[in-house]
Amino acid sequence: MKKMIARVAYCLPFYLFALSLQSHAQALTSEDIKAQMVKDWERAKAYTVDYLNTMPADKYSYKAVDSLRSFANQMLHLAAGNLFLMSQASDQKPPAFLQSDIEHSPGAQNKDSVMYYVTTSYDYCINAVKNSDVNKWGEKKKIFGFEETRFAMMNKVFEHQTHHRGQTTIYIRLNNVKPPQERLFAK
């Protein structure tokens, strides 16, 4: 009997702890997911602006090799991708400059222009998520021959911008500049 009481006494704190965790757990709502997505887009914007400010303005035309995009082209491609892909996911009208080929526009290649287009694209994505109806996120849409939910498409937009920002890390390093510190959990 003493052994049984000792076992109960030993296990009781763990059982009570597990119960307390259960009682404090909250269901994750679609609005929570939306708020997290907005927070992640805001963080990604700040991180990308760090990249834009880290690369010297006179190196925006830099290419790691001739067959690749320049730093400016990479960032302008990121911006155009943000606008096009998020407009497909959200059905919200993007800025008019999406209709032009900003990636190859000679007037868009300098630091100020790139900063404008990139930050505008992030503001558009942030607002598209904020203003979207989460009840429609499960709807499927076709893009590039694939059928995806709006939610999946929004995640792919985020993946695309992360991919192209990441590619520019090499451009920055090849110019003997230290790239910005990772901001995975930063504000």
The pLDDT assigned to 12 comes to: 47
**CATH classification at residue 87:** 1.20.120.450
Number of independent structural domains in the chain: 1
Amino acid at residue number 62? Y
| Domain annotation covers residue 77 | yes
| Domain annotation covers residue 138 | yes
| Domain annotation covers residue 94 | yes
> Mean pLDDT throughout 87-95?
94
Can you give 25-63 as a three-state secondary structure string?
Answer: CCCCCHHHHHHHHHHHHHHHHHHHHHHHHHCCHHHCCCC
| Domain annotation covers residue 20 | no
Name beta bridge partners: 146.
Answer: 143
The pLDDT assigned to 20 comes to: 55
**What domain range is 95 assigned to?**
28-174
| Domain annotation covers residue 56 | yes
| Domain annotation covers residue 23 | no
pLDDT tops 80 at residue 92 = yes
Contact 134, 31 (CB under 8 A): yes
> Mean pLDDT throughout 1-20?
55
